[in-house]
Amino acid sequence: MANGSDGTGQAGHNRPALSFHVPEPKFRPGDAVDFSDLKITQAGAQARPDETCPAIDTAPLANDLIRVLGEDNRAHGPWDPKLDPDTLRRMLSVMALTRAFDERMYRGQRQGKTSFYMKCTGEEATSVAAAMALAADDMVFPSYRQQGILLARGYPLIEMINQIYSNRGDKLKGRQLPIMYSSRAHSFFTISGNLATQTPQAVGWAMASAMRGDSRIAATWVGEGSTAEGDFHAACLFATVYNAPVILNVVNNQWAISSFSGFAGGERATFAARGVGYGIASLRVDGNDALACYAAEQWAANRARANAGPTLIEHFSYRAEGHSTSDDPSQYRSAQERSEWPLGDPVMRLKNHLIAMGEWDEERQEKLDLDSAEQVKAATKEAEKNGILGHGLHHPFHTMFEDVFEELPWHLEEQAAQAIREREIKWPAA
């Protein structure tokens, strides 16, 4: 029997055809952007349940948008963390430093000083404000766009740059891709190049902390695109089953390289709503509102410390720049999106809030931006003395064989000796 590609010849070929759906972003390059269908809530209008409430009580917040900073640049409502001006200024300065750092490192990559870089422009609040709401020794399992956490925790700029340049000062001994930082002293877990592996690890770390009777909690960050990984679902499951003291931060920056959030399921439900099904307290916050990010993280941290269970926080934000130095966003999304984004810019909003409070002014902001750039520049110059990518100022060759195991096994020692000997023979002048 001949079956045509149109189905003729098959039984039931004239039944109503099914239609196949492929998500498509609203705007592509060149399109005029209109975000008027995004539901932007009124700042201060969201209820703040007790931190130890049953998880189901947070379900309305998973489909809402917690906002504190209003159009009037004032803080509103029960989620206002009521931070003192010094703390707010510190938050602003770390966010400004993060932005200045990104600017310089990005340009450094364009100059060939490193091979790769990723900015977090527009998402600074989701890491800086959130990190400030945690204790300094709470363990964080970040993804690759949370450089703000390290800066909030006072990690030296030069160490970050040494890592990015993979030079002889690199604490990771030239073994990791640029920006895949790691600092035990800052309770900052090694960033993984495999997406979302940090989510079950954070839950496991938190379970271990509870088993040991420790007081430290864990927090992890994952992009909305990476919530598609099985890791994220396993993490949610274990977090709820064992009531782990953990915070699962989902940074919804709308784009996973060129795939918009619809490809991760964002067309059908919010990312916060995924927590509801697991019985995890779930909050959806304005990720460009530093005070809302702080307040949500603080709520979740208090909940975890009170043994009331995990929290999933969706930080609704926008990735203002490309995914990394390797892609060109003008090829896949409308350039207008950034300027039209209805939730504004997190640094500007916090600055305007401080000005509205009478605790800041444009001159001081200008000086802050300048100082931040100078600070990064000075650190860069200092780091460059240790070498830049490809300039040969590496760790001693032998280190390549170290840290594969706790102790250097004899077979690796043998390989190292052989490799060093061969180098001496091939390049005796060295």
Partner 1 sequence: MALELKMPALSPTMEEGTLAKWLVKEGDEVHSGDVIAEIETDKATMEFEAVDEGTIGKILVPEGTENVKVGEVIATMAGEGGEAPAPAPAHEAPAQPAVEQKAAESEAPEPSPTATAHRAEIEHQFHNKGPARDPEVPEGTAMKTVTVREALRDAMAEEMRRDERVFVMGEEVAQYQGAYKVTQGLLDEFGPKRVIDTPITEYGFAGIGSGAAMGGLRPIVEFMTFNFAMQAIDHIVNSAGKTNYMSGGQMRCPIVFRGPNGAASRVGAQHSQNYGPWYASVPGLIVIAPYDAADAKGLLKAAIRSEDPVVFLENELVYGRTFDIPDLDDHVLPIGKARVVKPGKDVTIVSYSIGVGLSLEAAEKLVVEGIDAEVIDLRTLRPLDKATVLESLAKTNRMIVAEEGWPTCSISSEIIAIAMEEGFDHLDAPVLRVTDEDVPLPYAANLEALALIDSDRIVAAAKKVCYRG
Report how far residue 211's alpha carbon sits from residue 214's, in angstroms, rounded to the nearest whole number.
Answer: 8
Nearest to 91 by CA among 144, 122, 133: 133
Footprint on residues 150-179 left by partner 1 (CB under 8 A): 168, 170-173, 175-177
Instruction: Kindly state the smallest distance separating residue 373's Cβ from partner 1, in Å.
Output: 8
Scanning 12-20, 26-34, 56-64, 422-430 for contacts with partner 1 by CB under 8 A, the matching segment is: 422-430
Among 203, 281, 301, 383, binds partner 1 (CB under 8 A): 203
Going along 99-217, which residue ranges are E strands? Answer: 139-141
Residue 47 is a binding residue for partner 1 (CB under 8 A): no
Scanning 84-92, 192-200, 257-265, 294-302 for contacts with partner 1 by CB under 8 A, the matching segment is: 192-200
Footprint on residues 205-244 left by partner 1 (CB under 8 A): 205-209, 211-212, 218, 230-231, 234-235, 237-238, 241
Instruction: Kindly state the smallest distance separating residue 189's Cβ from partner 1, in Å.
Output: 7
Among 126, 199, 226, 227, binds partner 1 (CB under 8 A): 199
- Tell me whether residue 56 or residue 208 sits nearer to partner 1 (CB atom): 208
- Tell me whether residue 357 or residue 417 sits nearer to partner 1 (CB atom): 417
Is the sign of the CA dihedral 382, 385, 391, 392 positive or negative? negative
Instruction: Kindly state the smallest distance separating residue 307's Cβ from partner 1, in Å.
Output: 14
- Tell me whether residue 180 or residue 356 sits nearer to partner 1 (CB atom): 180
Give the position of tokens 């310089």. 104
Convert residues 107-126 into a mask of x (bound to partner 1 by CB under 8 A) and - (unbound).
Answer: xxxxxxx-xx----------
The percent of the chain in helix, strand and coil, each rounded to the nearest 5, is: 40, 10, 50
- Tell me whether residue 200 or residue 279 sits nearer to partner 1 (CB atom): 200
Instruction: Kindly state the smallest distance separating residue 173's Cβ from partner 1, in Å.
Output: 5
Residue 303 is a binding residue for partner 1 (CB under 8 A): no
Residue 96 is a binding residue for partner 1 (CB under 8 A): no
Instruction: Kindly state the smallest distance separating residue 379's Cβ from partner 1, in Å.
Output: 13
Strands 246-252 and 218-223: parallel
Three-state DSSP class for residue 188 = strand
- Tell me whether residue 260 or residue 401 sits nearer to partner 1 (CB atom): 401
Footprint on residues 23-42 left by partner 1 (CB under 8 A): none
Integer CA distances (angstroms), 110 to 166, 223, 330, in order: 16, 25, 17
Q: Are 130 and 219 in contact (CB under 8 A)?
A: yes
Scanning 44-52, 59-67, 87-95, 200-208 for contacts with partner 1 by CB under 8 A, the matching segment is: 200-208
Footprint on residues 380-409 left by partner 1 (CB under 8 A): 387, 390-398, 402-406, 409
Among 34, 50, 72, 424, binds partner 1 (CB under 8 A): 424
Residue 100 is a binding residue for partner 1 (CB under 8 A): no
- Tell me whether residue 84 or residue 407 sits nearer to partner 1 (CB atom): 407
Q: How big is the site for partner 1, counted in residues (CB under 8 A)?
A: 85
| R_g (Cα) of the chain, nearest Å | 24
Residue 366 is a binding residue for partner 1 (CB under 8 A): no
- Burial (CB < 10 A; 0-12, 13-18, 19+), residue 328, is exposed
Nearest to 140 by CA among 264, 254, 18, 301: 301
Is the sign of the CA dihedral 233, 234, 238, 239 positive or negative? negative
Report how far residue 80's alpha carbon sits from residue 257's, in angstroms, rounded to the nearest whole number.
Answer: 33
Q: Are 255 and 226 in contact (CB under 8 A)?
A: no
Is the sign of the CA dihedral 356, 79, 223, 209 positive or negative? positive
Residue 269 is a binding residue for partner 1 (CB under 8 A): no
Q: What is the DSSP secondary-structure string of 267-317?
A: TTS-STHHHHHHT-EEEEEETT-HHHHHHHHHHHHHHHHTT---EEEEEE-
Instruction: Kindly state the smallest distance separating residue 410's Cβ from partner 1, in Å.
Output: 6
Residue 371 zone, left/alpha/beta (φ > 0; ψ -120 to 50; rest):
alpha
Three-state DSSP class for residue 161 = helix
Residue 204 is a binding residue for partner 1 (CB under 8 A): yes
In sequence order, the 6+-apart residues with CB closer than 8 A to the CB of 256 are 223, 224, 225, 226, 263, 264, 323
Residue 425 is a binding residue for partner 1 (CB under 8 A): no
Residue 93 is a binding residue for partner 1 (CB under 8 A): no
Among 326, 348, 367, 422, binds partner 1 (CB under 8 A): 326
Instruction: Kindly state the smallest distance separating residue 404's Cβ from partner 1, in Å.
Output: 5
- Tell me whether residue 75 or residue 203 sits nearer to partner 1 (CB atom): 203
Instruction: Kindly state the smallest distance separating residue 299's Cβ from partner 1, in Å.
Output: 23
